[in-house]
Amino acid sequence: MLVTGVALVSGCVGASPEATRTRGGGPGADVGNRRSVGELHEGSDPFWKVPDRIPGEQHPPLASARQAQQLSRRLCQRPPPYGLRRKRPEWESWLAVIEEILRETAAPEWEAVVAADVHAPRPALPVLAGATVAVDRNSVGRLFKRLVRIASHTGTPKMATLEAALHADIDTLRLFNASLCQDSGNIDELAAASGADAEALQAVAGLLPLPFLHACTRRWASSLPGSWVEGFCPVCGAWPAFAEVRGIERSRYFRCARCGGEWHARALHCPYCETSDHGQLVSLVAENGNSNATIDACRHCLRYVKTLTRLQGCPPDTVMIEDLGTVDLDVAALECGYTRPSGAGHPLEITVTDTGARRRFFTWSS
């Protein structure tokens, strides 16, 4: 009986009142409720006014501690989908492919094929529409091989067929061009000619131009017109992956999962069919009352956009991860009869050539 009593008391002592309390939809203050990696407010400096050496003590310089703090900050901001791996362990193999393309996206070499100055604004046309882009065939080929080798080891029969694309010496520039223009028919033809599964090649080829597109966004973000309110991306013409409602002003922005860009989104307006009839526009919310994530749907065209409420926009290299991480919203929208459109929001009609010895070449058709 004494043992039973001790066990009960121990259980009471170990169970903090904070262990189950929530506030604002988040965990209580109990240590066990917190993540293993803490986040500091932007601009904070835990070593502010701390001398390099503590007087009277034989301590090592604090420079190394500051360096570790800065490294921790960079690790917290890294794009690879560590959090998504914990949430979706069954996606481990495919997330390895995503991590590889995100690593390549950060490479500065891709900016060498992007024009320094953006094309003069053209009404309702993405910047890349009609462009002639020269990329290094060998670089594109090496990237494709890395993605295929990682993807083919996912253990799925369809992904295993991608090895055939490597042995068939597939035209990687044509594949790059087709993916850049979201030309699924062209990719299907390449899959049939190489013996690879069409769906598997579509999935991997869709990642191939991302490093180039992100380089375009980095170079042109400050030059894009702030008046752009079309439903598709002003850089690459893709449909939005989701919308963000930011801050106390509740400013609304669309985000692109291909180039990581953002642009203003009109409220109560369908980006697909452009209807503004309030009777045709609905918002779907989760049964658990999570108001930070909703589905804005259109009864007229039966399309939808995921909408996330947050203080500030996510970094460009995490947009794709945020899109994957909210797949539950996609499933809910499909169950209600709404879909996301396939293909590009606006045709690009891009011409891709090989740089050869040249490292930079980028023009637009007149």
Bridge partners of 132?
A: 351, 363
For residues 128 and 22, the model is more confident at: 128
Least confident of 65-69, 112-116, 306-310, 347-351: 65-69
CB-neighbour burial class of residue 331 (10 A; exposed 0-12, middle 13-18, buried 19+): exposed
Highest-scoring range by mean pLDDT, 66-70, 161-165, 286-290, 321-325: 321-325
- 63 has a pLDDT exceeding 60: no
Residue 208: its pLDDT value, please? 96
For helices 172-180 and 198-205, what crossing angle results, to 10°?
80
Instruction: Give the CA distances from residue 363 to residues 31, 140, 173, 303, in Å, rounded to whole numbers and listed in that order.
Output: 56, 20, 17, 35
For residues 136 and 26, the model is more confident at: 136
Q: Are strands 242-246 and 251-255 parallel, antiparallel or unpaired?
A: antiparallel
Q: Convert the chain into a string of H (helix), E (strand) and C (coil).
A: CHHHHHHHHHHHHHCCHHHCCEECCEECCCHHHCCCCCCCCCCCCCCCCCCCCCCCCCCCCCHHHHHHHHHHHHHHCCCCCHHHHHHCHHHHHHHHHHHHHHHHHCCHHHHHHCCCCCCCCCCCCCCCCCEEEEECHHHHHHHHHHHHHHHCCCCCHHHHCCHHHHHCCCCHHHHHHHHHCCCHHHHHHHHHHHCCCHHHHHHHHCCCCHHHHHHHHHHHHHHCCCCCCCCCCCCCCCCCCEEEEECCCCEEEEECCCCCCEEECCCCCCCCCCCCCHHHEEEEECCCCCCCEEEEEECCCCEEEEEEEECCCCCHHHHHHHHHHCHHHHHHHHHCCCECCCCCCCCCCCEEEECCCCCCCEEECC
Residue 91: its pLDDT value, please? 87
| Those residues with Cβ within 8 angstroms of residue 261's Cβ, 6 or more apart along the chain or in another chain | 217, 221, 224, 233, 234, 235, 236, 255, 316
pLDDT tens digits for range 204-249 = 999 999 999 999 999 888 888 788 889 999 999 999 999 999 998 8
**What value, to the nearest 5°, has the Cα angle with vertex 191 and ends 327 and 81?**
30
- Report yes or no on whether pTM surpasses 0.85: no
- 43 has a pLDDT exceeding 90: no
Query: What is the separation, in whole angstroms, between the first and last Cα of the chain?
Result: 90
Residue 103: its pLDDT value, please? 93
**pLDDT band at 120, cuts 50/70/90?**
low
Round to whole Å and give the CA distance between 302 and 58: 69
